[in-house]
Structure 1
């Protein structure tokens, strides 16, 4: 039985910041951000955009194609939870009018959460062949103004519909995992922004990639030459680039050129929105699918490296399904990115500061998000409300 991604949706915020302007405001050479980090723009979430709205909007993209009677599982992977007890998935379920009979919950392990959800969904569909699942990686990455991690912030969600005989990619059996208790990145309960040791985190990321990649190759008697592309968790482009250099170190010249070219295609969306935490790997995959064109053919193997600080790493792979191109929404995604509102650095700082404030027990919010999109409309008695923009 083949199981994999049947549909995929993507949503980001209504606003962005140009990183050239941030560099100038911080007294930094813009090339440090554009080349040294590998980022061009950064999605900025205002008070009315959170992981729930992003998760809903990314799933709406394909929901009309889903037979809800067969849907049995909904998982949201996130490290930007909006409640210490209630899962974000319940808000998503309510807004999308999904069946009450489905099993739904939230998963947390830093940026690995969506992959944990994906593996559970794959096992669920295997055990329940007549059922399907939705897995969403939704996050808002915040490190703080004038911090070392500021340039690697971002926001967005990637939603995946998991089914047997999938239309986009069928996962291969097996995976390679590796974990250690490491303090490279964390956010204590009383912190609204993350703490990170950037250099150490990059070292651990590369260590975990090498361990899981080598283990996967050994398990399956493969080499780097057997992959058409490898997609990576991309909190920022340069981190994935370093891992890809390790991957191609012993590849043939033709394979090296192919993997390097396809890596660049996989970074195009991430360069425009920044860090999605749990959604970053799957945005990398979507970017590859929608930008590589003739470089990707049905039947070819795509690798996935997932990493979550703290730390958890996993490598797995899948085979592209014939006709996958017709189930993508490239024009919609490009339109979404092009129609965002550009913020000045001062406006970004004001929006960022506003989002860190504690909300009162009762408040009503209005939003400038695009019509037809969901937004956080405030709360009553600390219970959160979500509405669709008319």
Structure 2
């Protein structure tokens, strides 16, 4: 399904064997040129978050979906999206989603506004490599550990974010929610404001 100008560009490579075609840099360059229009139309809208954030492993696929919803939500109704992910081993997954308009709060336009992708990307905080290394070393030190409290500094967390406060001697994890007010029902039950143990 290519036009004559594309056929002419590919013709010099018709006699390559399959193995030769895999290693041929000239063929790779031509293939990128002739497929750019299709790539820009079908793939590029999914690359906003992955390009900004980097590899997130499993989350990468859904970051790509969020990028598509951000970029094209007004044209996605009744469209089918192919989702494909693969690991470093022999397993891969492919499935498709058919999107409909949906009703509030599940409309695509509402989902796009809640995702608020660009504003959230712009709200990121920049850290030095030294601070990143220090944070990773702390995570390594606490991996599988018990009897410790975390920093209570929540200045960089968005309101409503859950965060770990401490792990006790029985490995029970306790969480708080930034800026959350306890409900009347919670007060009646004698719960402490903002504190959750193992998610309850």
Q: Aligning the two structures, in what range does the TM-score lie when normalised by the shorter sequence?
A: 0.5 to 0.7
The CA deviation string for residues 275-316 of structure 1, in whole angstroms up to 9 with x for no partner, is 22111111111101211366x442222111121333311222
* C-alpha distance in structure 2 between counterparts of 1:333 and 1:356, whole Å: 30
In the alignment, structure 2 segments of 5+ residues that lack a partner are: 2-27, 180-200
Structure 2 match to 1:243: none
* C-alpha distance in structure 2 between counterparts of 1:292 and 1:284, whole Å: 12
Counterpart of 1:383 (choices 156, 162, 172) is 172
* C-alpha distance in structure 1 between counterparts of 2:128 and 2:38, whole Å: 38
Contact 1:262–1:292, Cα closer than 8 Å, also in 2: no
Structure 1 match to 2:133: 349
TM-score using structure 2 length: 0.59
Instruction: Return the structure number with greater strand share.
Output: 1
- Report the 3-state secondary structure (helix = DSSP H, G, I; strand = E; otherwise coil) of the residue aligned with 2:138: helix
Q: Compute the RMSD of aligned alpha carbons.
A: 2.8
- Report the 3-state secondary structure (helix = DSSP H, G, I; strand = E; otherwise coil) of the residue aligned with 1:342: coil
Structure 2 match to 1:314: 93
The equivalences for 1:353-372 within 5 A come to 353-358=137-142, 360-365=145-150, 366-368=152-154, 369-372=157-160
- Report the 3-state secondary structure (helix = DSSP H, G, I; strand = E; otherwise coil) of the residue aligned with 1:270: helix
Larger RCO: 1 or 2 (CA < 8 Å, sep 6+): 1
> Structure 2 vs 1, CA of residues 313 and 333 (structure 1 numbering), >3 Å: closer, same or farther?
same
* C-alpha distance in structure 1 between counterparts of 2:73 and 2:97, whole Å: 18
- Report the 3-state secondary structure (helix = DSSP H, G, I; strand = E; otherwise coil) of the residue aligned with 2:141: coil
- Report the 3-state secondary structure (helix = DSSP H, G, I; strand = E; otherwise coil) of the residue aligned with 1:329: helix
Instruction: Return the structure number with greater helix share.
Output: 2
The CA deviation string for residues 178-219 of structure 1, in whole angstroms up to 9 with x for no partner, is xxxxxxxxxxxxxxxxxxxxxxxxxxxxxxxxxxxxxxxxxx
The equivalences for 1:238-249 within 5 A come to none
| 1:348 to partner: Cα distance | 1.3
* C-alpha distance in structure 2 between counterparts of 1:347 and 1:277, whole Å: 23
The equivalences for 1:220-235 within 5 A come to none
TM-score using structure 1 length: 0.32
| 1:326 to partner: Cα distance | 2.1
In the alignment, structure 1 segments of 5+ residues that lack a partner are: 1-222, 224-245
> Structure 2 vs 1, CA of residues 367 and 272 (structure 1 numbering), >3 Å: closer, same or farther?
farther
Contact 1:281–1:305, Cα closer than 8 Å, also in 2: yes
The equivalences for 1:80-119 within 5 A come to none
The equivalences for 1:1-390 within 5 A come to 257-292=37-72, 296-322=75-101, 324-330=107-113, 332-358=116-142, 360-365=145-150, 366-368=152-154, 369-381=157-169, 382-390=171-179
| 1:320 to partner: Cα distance | 2.4
**Aligned residue pairs, count:** 139
Larger Rg: 2
> Structure 2 vs 1, CA of residues 283 and 265 (structure 1 numbering), >3 Å: closer, same or farther?
same
Contact 1:363–1:378, Cα closer than 8 Å, also in 2: yes
Contact 1:262–1:288, Cα closer than 8 Å, also in 2: no
